[in-house]
Chains A and B, each alone.
Chain A
Amino acid sequence: MSAPTAHRSEGQLRRALSALRHDPLALTGTAVLVLLVVVGVAGPWLAPAGINDVDVDRMLQPPSWAHPFGTDELGRDVLSRVMVAARVSLQVGAVSVGIALLAGVTLGLFAGYYRGWLDNLLMRCMDVLFAFPVLLLAVAIVAVLGPGLLTAMIAIGVVYTPIFARVTRAGVLSVREQVFVRAAVSIGASDLRIMRRHVLPNIAAPLIVQTSLSLAFAILSEAALSFLGLGVQPPAPAWGRMLYDGRGFVTDAWWLGVFPGAAIFLTVLAFNLVGDALRDVLDPRQLTVNEARRSTG
């Protein structure tokens, strides 16, 4: 037990980052994410045309130098709309995963630390949420709260809370049996202090991994909600919504669906690559496998 613990603590994050530097897939994923963030932040200024510049003379034009991603049925520049929509996706990802992280970690921490009836109550509630298909639950929540960006973010946040609660609880269960937690109890540290200072930092690794993977799923869920007309409302651009609008033109104007779809694909892929790579370098068991591989290979 002590060996991997000692191993992991050796500047865990620094080790992880240096390991990531030598992983081409992780580097690619990171590069895509950086590009995405730049576009997300500066999209409206970088975009070659306004997102709502309707021009009926240019409608449904295929990709060209003037319009690299083509134009839609109202003559709007698809590239500009895809770029501006990146902000929506990132925003939804960040806010909804933030909600899920905050709620899930809090619930999982209390459930795992106090065990007993509180644990049962909280985790059974999480099981109920978990039992619903993700999209069905999100749609139900949006139906109650009304469609829009904010409710989409809340709905996705609620849907992804149970996974964070479970990951947290599992980590807490093993950490709270460690002697250093007993030592903290013995010096009279309060429960909240123990949870915050001794338990939480020791379960950061699985939470970081879960966060990066959940970002991908959250963005995918937002696209699905937008596709169903339950997310961002037109004329504001969102990738899912653009897919929906483009589906009628699939045979005549493939670029309407392909480019927003490719944007979703690349974003989700990038988050997954980074998430997988993080899991490899932060998971102590995986770590030893990798090191064994490195030393023999």
Chain B
Amino acid sequence: MSDAAVLAVSDLTVTIGTRRGPARAVAGVDWSVRAGETLALVGESGSGKSMSVLAATGLAPRAARVTGSVRLLDADFTALPADRRRRMRGRHVGFVFQDPMTSLNPVLTVGRQVAEAGEEHLGLTRRASRARAVELLDLVGIPSAAQRVDAYPHQFSGGMRQRVVIAMALACEPDLLIADEPTTALDVTTQAQIVELVADLQRRLGTAVVWITHDLGVVAGIADTVAVMYAGRIVEQGPVDAVFGRPGHPYTSALLAARPDPGGGGGDLVTIAGAPPSPLALPAGCAFWPRCPVRSDARCEHELPPLVGVSPAHHVRTFYPQRTDGEGHEAS
């Protein structure tokens, strides 16, 4: 595990022009991921977790304005011309998208699709790229890959398709794998297999992984560090044990409390009252204060809380960091 970050994002802001005015999807986010490490970006829909990753890799929609700095390997990624960016992304970053049913082209064989990146970036011949596709399909655990390479996506189950998508993402042996809710569309057993597959591949290939999810169970199992996002900002960031064991932000605590408990009988799920604010009209102060159980003074409403360290690697954006033993609050 080297110390240099594979991808480092600092002060990343994404503003999307909409008909009803600019929507701030991501507001000044910093995170980085090193080789062999897994960063989990956690948050509800619309919290900016996917958008921050898409913007960092140059895949933001055209209506989006992206500022801030992105370093991919040793390059200033945002300063590169578009064509260099495209090639660098294709060569060094692999993507796994949410829905394996739609992320494969229905009219091409899986082999051709897995081979595509290799042909484009490694200059492999048709023959060599086919051999490579068989190798990759084998690597992601597709049985009798040599025959399946000529099959079409509809001949695969959801879990097998997601394996194909992972094979596509790994085609150029990327330094970074971005998994955008890759298990959300799969049933629980398959989810576990895909999570295990990615973890195993990461161990063997030393790839850095950014895992975007709202499934905290998955995060606990695979992540080294976690960044919890709310309304475009990181509200808590740190090693997974620290963040889950001693959550410092009331939002993180609420998220953890809202997890369904398989052993806990049939009680109602704990919910967080209210809804996240619209990115078109964010509150002036802390975006979470309207729903916050510990808000207590006017600062919450008017002032953005600073990101404070509760331990060297564990940061929380709140005026009231919760006590490190996870019981009660310092001030309330």
Contact = CB atoms under 8 A, between A and B. Distances in A.
B95 A183 contact: yes
Interface string B67-111: 000000000000000000011111101110111011111111000
B108 A197 contact: yes
A201 B93 CA distance: 27
Given A186-B95, A187-B120, A178 B153 contact: no
B99 A9 contact: no
B108 A179 contact: no
A179 B102 contact: yes
A187 B103 contact: no
A45 to B, nearest CB: 41
Contacts of B101: 2, 5-6
A15 interface: no
B209 interface: no
Contacts of A185: 59
A180 interface: yes
B94 A180 contact: no
Contact of B107 (A2, A183, A187, A202): A202
Interface string A1-41: 11001101110100000000000000000000000000000
B116 A6 contact: no
Contact of A202 (B91, B94, B97, B105): B105
A281 to B, nearest CB: 16
Interface in A176-216: 178-180, 182-190, 193, 197-198, 201-202, 204
B97 A182 contact: yes
Interface in A202-238: 202, 204
A187 B168 contact: yes
Q: Per DSSP, are chain B's interface residues mostly helix, strand or loop, or mixed?
A: mixed
B120 A10 contact: no
B95 A5 contact: no
B152 A9 contact: yes
B307 to A, nearest CB: 30
A179 B54 CA distance: 14
A187 B171 contact: yes
Contacts of A198: 105, 108
B154 A188 contact: no
A5 B106 contact: yes
A187 B94 contact: yes
Given A5-B106, A6-B106, A10-B154, A184 B116 contact: yes
B287 interface: no
Nearest to B107: A201
Contacts of B153: 6, 9
A220 to B, nearest CB: 33
B117 interface: yes
Contacts of A9: 106-107, 152-154
Given A6-B154, A188-B90, A190-B86, A180 B120 contact: no
Given A9-B153, A188-B120, A197-B108, A183 B89 contact: no
A232 B59 CA distance: 54
A202 to B, nearest CB: 6
Given A9-B153, A9-B154, A193-B120, A186 B104 contact: no
Contacts of A187: 90, 94-95, 116-117, 120, 168-169, 171-172
B121 interface: yes
15 contacts: A2-B101, A6-B153, A6-B154, A8-B106, A9-B153, A179-B98, A179-B99, A182-B59, A183-B95, A185-B59, A186-B93, A187-B117, A188-B90, A201-B105, A204-B107
Interface of B: 57, 59, 86-91, 93-95, 97-99, 101-108, 113, 116-117, 120-121, 152-154, 165, 168-169, 171-172
Given A186-B95, A190-B86, A201-B105, 10 more contacts: A6-B101, A12-B107, A178-B102, A179-B103, A182-B59, A187-B90, A187-B120, A188-B87, A189-B120, A193-B120
**Pairs of residues from A and B, 7 with the lowest C-beta to C-beta distance, nearest first:** A188-B90, A9-B106, A2-B101, A186-B95, A179-B103, A179-B102, A187-B117
